[in-house]
């Protein structure tokens, strides 16, 4: 079972800039907890994501010598990929690809077809550098724009990504409306059809639906879950202000209650949660 902690997703929407040293201190504490991976920053335009403009500087302040936790950075184009690949400390590059043409244009200012061309090029760059490209399929369980959505459409996307050679795909419940039945079906079908691909879940949720979504993912065979301590972050387009990232501490409890063995150090997790309460007022 892999837990990916996402401070980048929690921080990027904060209206006031979080000091570089504070970001680094928080991520250094997260590195002590025992997460498989930390989604720590992004190499995107500072105009579109000003909070993440110091990702390279944050990376310089991280203590990576005594941890097995890997680092993931989000990119949105080949320029960002090249920037991220300059840092050997980064293990994964994450690219947002959408099932929604509307959302793809809004999020990366390009069509789905152009984004797929980007994915192929970035995947080749990662292969050359010995890194792994993670594709986040946003609107992976439905979307609010009235566009066509079906499990078959999801399968078509996965098939295209499989042809490119993508090995890790995370389905995103971008606006927090995924139905447990759809979640289970999407994972069950794709894990069965593509056993060589690692599938993950990046759920957004209201507090009362967290357990149902995690349990549906588990029933579908998912063994890779994203979260953010205390449930900060999420998608600003969600209609419900209570929709945020899955709270990692709640996800951990669900997984432990289900009997999964995790590499989480409880005392270090408590310290990280104290810092999260200070950073995210």
Q: Count of residues for the chain? A: 281
Residue 237's contacts (CB-CB under 8 Å, 6 or more residues apart) are 144, 174, 175
| pTM of this structure | 0.93
What's residue 243's pLDDT? 54
What's residue 13's pLDDT? 83
What's residue 236's pLDDT? 47
Q: Where are the beta strands (DSSP E) in the chain?
A: 2-5, 37-43, 70-75, 92-98, 132-138, 168-173, 198-205, 224-227, 244-245
What's residue 139's pLDDT? 85
What's residue 232's pLDDT? 82
Residue 121's contacts (CB-CB under 8 Å, 6 or more residues apart) are 78
Residue 178's contacts (CB-CB under 8 Å, 6 or more residues apart) are 140, 141, 142, 203, 213
**Contact (CB, 8 A) for 174 and 140:** yes
* Distance of alpha carbon 52 from alpha carbon 175, whole angstroms: 22
pLDDT beneath 70, residues of the chain: 234-243
| Every domain of the chain and the residues it spans | 2-70+139-279
What's the CATH code, domain 2-70+139-279? 3.20.20.70
Paired strand residues for 245? 204
């Amino acid at each position: 079972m892999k837990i990916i902690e996402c401070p980048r997703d929690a921080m990027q929407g904060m209206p006031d800039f979080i000091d570089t040293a504070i970001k680094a201190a928080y991520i250094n504490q997260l590195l002590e907890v025992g997460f498989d991976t930390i989604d720590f920053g992004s190499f995107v335009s500072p105009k579109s994501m000003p909070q993440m403009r110091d990702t390279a500087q944050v990376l310089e302040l991280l203590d990576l010598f005594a941890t097995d936790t890997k680092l993931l950075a989000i990119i949105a184009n080949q320029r960002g990929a090249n920037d991220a690949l300059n840092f050997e400390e980064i293990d994964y590059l994450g690219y947002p690809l959408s099932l929604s043409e509307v959302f793809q244009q809004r999020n990366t200012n390009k069509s789905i077809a152009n984004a797929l061309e980007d994915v192929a090029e970035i995947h080749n760059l990662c292969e050359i550098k010995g890194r792994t490209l993670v594709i986040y399929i946003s609107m992976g369980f439905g979307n609010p724009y009235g566009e066509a959505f079906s499990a078959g459409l999801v399968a078509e996307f996965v098939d295209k990504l499989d042809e490119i050679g993508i090995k890790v795909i995370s389905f995103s419940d971008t606006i927090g409306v995924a139905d447990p039945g759809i979640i289970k079906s999407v994972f069950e079908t794709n894990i069965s059809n593509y056993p060589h691909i690692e599938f993950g879940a990046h759920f957004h949720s209201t507090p009362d639906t967290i357990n149902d979504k995690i349990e549906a993912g588990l029933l579908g065979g998912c063994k890779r879950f994203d979260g953010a301590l205390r449930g900060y972050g999420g998608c600003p387009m969600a209609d419900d202000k209570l929709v945020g990232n899955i709270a990692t501490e709640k996800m951990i409890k669900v997984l432990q209650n289900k009997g999964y063995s995790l590499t989480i150090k409880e005392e270090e997790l408590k310290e990280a949660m104290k810092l999260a309460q200070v950073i995210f007022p």
